[in-house]
Structure 1
Amino acid sequence: MQGERALAKTTRMNMLFDFYGPLLTDKQQTFLKFYYHDDYSLGEIASDFEISRQAVYEHLKRAEQALESYEDKLGLMARHVRLHGWLDALDRQIGGLPEPHREALARTAAGLRGSEDGEL
Protein backbone atom coordinates (compact mmCIF):
# COMPACT_ATOMS: atom_id res chain seq x y z
CA MET A 1 0.00 0.00 0.00
CA GLN A 2 2.81 2.43 0.87
CA GLY A 3 4.41 1.81 -2.55
CA GLU A 4 1.13 2.58 -4.30
CA ARG A 5 0.79 5.87 -2.43
CA ALA A 6 4.37 6.81 -3.26
CA LEU A 7 3.78 6.02 -6.94
CA ALA A 8 0.52 8.01 -6.95
CA LYS A 9 2.29 10.99 -5.35
CA THR A 10 5.16 10.77 -7.84
CA THR A 11 2.72 10.65 -10.73
CA ARG A 12 0.77 13.62 -9.36
CA MET A 13 3.90 15.70 -8.76
CA ASN A 14 5.18 14.96 -12.27
CA MET A 15 1.84 15.99 -13.77
CA LEU A 16 1.68 19.16 -11.68
CA PHE A 17 5.25 19.91 -12.68
CA ASP A 18 4.27 19.56 -16.36
CA PHE A 19 1.57 22.19 -15.88
CA TYR A 20 3.19 24.59 -13.44
CA GLY A 21 6.93 23.86 -13.43
CA PRO A 22 7.89 27.10 -15.19
CA LEU A 23 6.32 29.05 -12.31
CA LEU A 24 8.81 27.58 -9.82
CA THR A 25 12.29 28.85 -9.08
CA ASP A 26 15.21 27.24 -10.91
CA LYS A 27 16.30 25.47 -7.72
CA GLN A 28 12.78 24.13 -7.07
CA GLN A 29 12.58 22.88 -10.65
CA THR A 30 15.96 21.18 -10.38
CA PHE A 31 15.23 19.46 -7.07
CA LEU A 32 11.80 18.27 -8.22
CA LYS A 33 13.27 16.88 -11.46
CA PHE A 34 16.01 15.05 -9.60
CA TYR A 35 13.69 13.65 -6.94
CA TYR A 36 10.51 12.80 -8.85
CA HIS A 37 11.66 12.38 -12.43
CA ASP A 38 15.18 11.01 -12.04
CA ASP A 39 14.48 9.13 -8.76
CA TYR A 40 17.41 10.61 -6.83
CA SER A 41 17.34 10.18 -3.06
CA LEU A 42 17.46 13.13 -0.69
CA GLY A 43 21.02 12.14 0.17
CA GLU A 44 22.11 12.08 -3.48
CA ILE A 45 20.66 15.52 -4.12
CA ALA A 46 22.19 16.84 -0.89
CA SER A 47 25.58 15.48 -1.90
CA ASP A 48 25.39 16.98 -5.40
CA PHE A 49 24.49 20.42 -4.04
CA GLU A 50 26.62 20.21 -0.88
CA ILE A 51 23.69 20.91 1.44
CA SER A 52 21.96 18.85 4.13
CA ARG A 53 19.27 16.27 3.45
CA GLN A 54 16.98 18.42 5.61
CA ALA A 55 17.55 21.41 3.34
CA VAL A 56 16.70 19.30 0.27
CA TYR A 57 13.57 18.02 2.02
CA GLU A 58 12.47 21.57 2.86
CA HIS A 59 13.07 22.78 -0.72
CA LEU A 60 11.02 19.87 -2.04
CA LYS A 61 8.18 20.47 0.43
CA ARG A 62 7.97 24.16 -0.49
CA ALA A 63 7.99 23.29 -4.20
CA GLU A 64 5.27 20.65 -3.70
CA GLN A 65 3.17 23.16 -1.76
CA ALA A 66 3.61 25.73 -4.52
CA LEU A 67 2.49 23.23 -7.18
CA GLU A 68 -0.56 22.23 -5.13
CA SER A 69 -1.39 25.90 -4.56
CA TYR A 70 -1.24 26.65 -8.29
CA GLU A 71 -3.52 23.68 -8.98
CA ASP A 72 -5.96 24.78 -6.26
CA LYS A 73 -6.17 28.23 -7.82
CA LEU A 74 -6.04 27.39 -11.53
CA GLY A 75 -7.24 23.78 -11.79
CA LEU A 76 -5.46 23.08 -15.08
CA MET A 77 -4.57 19.49 -14.25
CA ALA A 78 -8.09 18.66 -13.05
CA ARG A 79 -9.49 20.19 -16.24
CA HIS A 80 -7.04 18.15 -18.32
CA VAL A 81 -8.02 14.91 -16.56
CA ARG A 82 -11.75 15.62 -16.98
CA LEU A 83 -11.34 16.52 -20.64
CA HIS A 84 -9.39 13.36 -21.40
CA GLY A 85 -12.02 11.30 -19.59
CA TRP A 86 -14.69 12.75 -21.87
CA LEU A 87 -12.51 12.23 -24.94
CA ASP A 88 -11.97 8.58 -23.99
CA ALA A 89 -15.75 8.15 -23.62
CA LEU A 90 -16.22 9.81 -27.03
CA ASP A 91 -13.71 7.40 -28.59
CA ARG A 92 -15.64 4.43 -27.18
CA GLN A 93 -18.91 5.81 -28.52
CA ILE A 94 -17.39 6.48 -31.93
CA GLY A 95 -16.23 2.85 -32.05
CA GLY A 96 -19.87 1.75 -31.77
CA LEU A 97 -21.09 3.83 -34.70
CA PRO A 98 -21.57 2.66 -38.28
CA GLU A 99 -18.48 3.16 -40.47
CA PRO A 100 -19.66 6.18 -42.51
CA HIS A 101 -19.97 8.28 -39.33
CA ARG A 102 -16.81 7.08 -37.56
CA GLU A 103 -14.11 8.73 -39.65
CA ALA A 104 -15.28 12.33 -39.37
CA LEU A 105 -16.01 12.07 -35.65
CA ALA A 106 -12.69 10.32 -35.01
CA ARG A 107 -10.91 13.21 -36.77
CA THR A 108 -12.81 15.69 -34.61
CA ALA A 109 -11.88 13.80 -31.42
CA ALA A 110 -8.23 13.66 -32.55
CA GLY A 111 -8.34 17.40 -33.21
CA LEU A 112 -9.65 18.03 -29.72
CA ARG A 113 -6.87 15.87 -28.25
CA GLY A 114 -4.31 17.77 -30.32
CA SER A 115 -5.61 21.16 -29.24
CA GLU A 116 -5.40 20.11 -25.59
CA ASP A 117 -1.80 19.04 -26.12
CA GLY A 118 -0.92 22.29 -27.90
CA GLU A 119 -0.82 20.81 -31.41
CA LEU A 120 -3.17 23.12 -33.29
Structure 2
Amino acid sequence: MLEKTNQVNLLFDFYAPLLKGKQCEYLELYYLDDLSLSEIAEMYEVSRQAVYDHIKRAEKQLNEYDGKLRLTRKHEQRQELVRKITDLVEATDESNMKEEMLTLLHQLSEMD
Protein backbone atom coordinates (compact mmCIF):
# COMPACT_ATOMS: atom_id res chain seq x y z
CA MET A 1 0.00 0.00 0.00
CA LEU A 2 2.85 2.39 0.78
CA GLU A 3 4.31 1.88 -2.68
CA LYS A 4 0.95 2.72 -4.28
CA THR A 5 0.61 5.80 -2.06
CA ASN A 6 4.07 7.00 -3.08
CA GLN A 7 3.31 6.40 -6.75
CA VAL A 8 -0.01 8.28 -6.59
CA ASN A 9 1.68 11.15 -4.73
CA LEU A 10 4.36 11.39 -7.42
CA LEU A 11 1.76 11.35 -10.18
CA PHE A 12 -0.27 13.93 -8.25
CA ASP A 13 2.77 16.22 -8.04
CA PHE A 14 3.08 16.23 -11.81
CA TYR A 15 -0.51 16.10 -12.99
CA ALA A 16 -2.75 17.56 -10.24
CA PRO A 17 -3.55 20.71 -12.25
CA LEU A 18 -5.06 18.52 -14.96
CA LEU A 19 -7.60 16.87 -12.64
CA LYS A 20 -11.15 18.08 -12.19
CA GLY A 21 -12.15 19.80 -8.93
CA LYS A 22 -13.54 17.03 -6.74
CA GLN A 23 -11.15 14.42 -8.08
CA CYS A 24 -8.22 16.61 -7.11
CA GLU A 25 -9.68 17.52 -3.71
CA TYR A 26 -10.60 13.96 -2.76
CA LEU A 27 -7.29 12.55 -3.94
CA GLU A 28 -5.36 15.16 -1.98
CA LEU A 29 -7.36 14.52 1.18
CA TYR A 30 -7.07 10.75 0.85
CA TYR A 31 -3.41 10.38 -0.13
CA LEU A 32 -1.71 13.53 1.10
CA ASP A 33 -3.74 14.33 4.20
CA ASP A 34 -4.37 10.63 4.99
CA LEU A 35 -8.11 11.02 5.62
CA SER A 36 -10.38 8.00 5.33
CA LEU A 37 -13.12 7.68 2.74
CA SER A 38 -15.67 8.11 5.52
CA GLU A 39 -14.05 11.30 6.79
CA ILE A 40 -14.00 12.81 3.31
CA ALA A 41 -17.60 11.73 2.68
CA GLU A 42 -18.70 13.37 5.91
CA MET A 43 -16.87 16.62 5.05
CA TYR A 44 -18.54 16.88 1.64
CA GLU A 45 -21.86 15.35 2.70
CA VAL A 46 -21.70 12.63 0.06
CA SER A 47 -21.60 8.86 0.23
CA ARG A 48 -18.42 6.96 0.90
CA GLN A 49 -18.96 5.25 -2.46
CA ALA A 50 -19.02 8.61 -4.25
CA VAL A 51 -15.66 9.53 -2.72
CA TYR A 52 -14.24 6.12 -3.65
CA ASP A 53 -15.46 6.48 -7.25
CA HIS A 54 -13.92 9.95 -7.62
CA ILE A 55 -10.58 8.73 -6.22
CA LYS A 56 -10.49 5.68 -8.51
CA ARG A 57 -11.30 7.82 -11.56
CA ALA A 58 -8.62 10.31 -10.55
CA GLU A 59 -6.03 7.53 -10.14
CA LYS A 60 -6.95 6.18 -13.56
CA GLN A 61 -6.69 9.64 -15.08
CA LEU A 62 -3.26 10.24 -13.50
CA ASN A 63 -1.99 6.94 -14.89
CA GLU A 64 -3.35 7.79 -18.35
CA TYR A 65 -1.63 11.18 -18.29
CA ASP A 66 1.63 9.58 -17.25
CA GLY A 67 1.27 6.87 -19.88
CA LYS A 68 1.16 9.57 -22.53
CA LEU A 69 3.49 12.23 -21.11
CA ARG A 70 5.90 10.02 -19.13
CA LEU A 71 6.95 12.87 -16.83
CA THR A 72 7.62 10.58 -13.87
CA ARG A 73 9.94 8.36 -15.93
CA LYS A 74 11.85 11.41 -17.17
CA HIS A 75 12.05 12.71 -13.61
CA GLU A 76 13.48 9.41 -12.37
CA GLN A 77 16.03 9.35 -15.20
CA ARG A 78 17.16 12.91 -14.39
CA GLN A 79 17.46 12.07 -10.70
CA GLU A 80 19.60 9.02 -11.49
CA LEU A 81 21.90 11.08 -13.73
CA VAL A 82 22.25 13.73 -11.02
CA ARG A 83 23.18 11.02 -8.49
CA LYS A 84 25.83 9.57 -10.82
CA ILE A 85 27.33 12.97 -11.60
CA THR A 86 27.31 13.88 -7.91
CA ASP A 87 29.25 10.71 -7.11
CA LEU A 88 31.82 11.57 -9.80
CA VAL A 89 32.14 15.17 -8.59
CA GLU A 90 32.61 14.07 -4.99
CA ALA A 91 35.40 11.76 -6.11
CA THR A 92 37.36 14.61 -7.71
CA ASP A 93 40.27 16.28 -5.93
CA GLU A 94 39.73 19.82 -7.28
CA SER A 95 38.09 21.31 -4.16
CA ASN A 96 37.29 24.78 -5.58
CA MET A 97 35.72 23.28 -8.70
CA LYS A 98 34.05 20.55 -6.69
CA GLU A 99 31.99 23.02 -4.60
CA GLU A 100 30.80 24.89 -7.67
CA MET A 101 29.82 21.69 -9.47
CA LEU A 102 27.96 20.38 -6.41
CA THR A 103 26.09 23.68 -6.13
CA LEU A 104 25.08 23.49 -9.79
CA LEU A 105 24.00 19.86 -9.40
CA HIS A 106 21.91 20.79 -6.39
CA GLN A 107 20.24 23.57 -8.39
CA LEU A 108 19.57 21.13 -11.23
CA SER A 109 17.99 18.55 -8.93
CA GLU A 110 15.77 21.24 -7.35
CA MET A 111 14.31 22.21 -10.75
CA ASP A 112 11.91 19.22 -10.74
Same fold (TM over 0.5): yes
Q: How many pairs are equivalent?
A: 111
Match of 1:106 among 85, 97, 102: 102
1:40 aligns with 2:26: no
Higher RCO, Cα 8 Å, sep 6+: 2
- Deviation for aligned residue 1:107: 3.5
How many angstroms apart in 2 are the aligned matches of 1:108 and 1:40?
Answer: 39
Q: Name the counterpart of 1:26.
A: 21
- Deviation for aligned residue 1:49: 1.2
- Deviation for aligned residue 1:109: 1.8
**Letter aligned with residue 67 of structure 1:** L
How many angstroms apart in 2 are the aligned matches of 1:111 and 1:44?
Answer: 39
Instruction: Give the % identical residues.
Output: 41
In structure 1, the gaps of 5 or more residues are 1-5
Q: Name the counterpart of 1:83.
A: 78
- Deviation for aligned residue 1:26: 1.1
**Letter aligned with residue 11 of structure 2:** L
| Secondary structure at 1:51 match in 2 | coil
1:59 aligns with 2:54: yes
Match of 2:89 among 94, 99, 103: 94
- Deviation for aligned residue 1:54: 1.1
In structure 2, the gaps of 5 or more residues are none
How many angstroms apart in 1 are the aligned matches of 2:67 and 2:11?
Answer: 11
* 1:36-90 Cα deviation digits (max 9, x unpaired): 0010101111111111111111100000000000000000111001100110111
Aligned Cα root-mean-square deviation (Å): 1.3
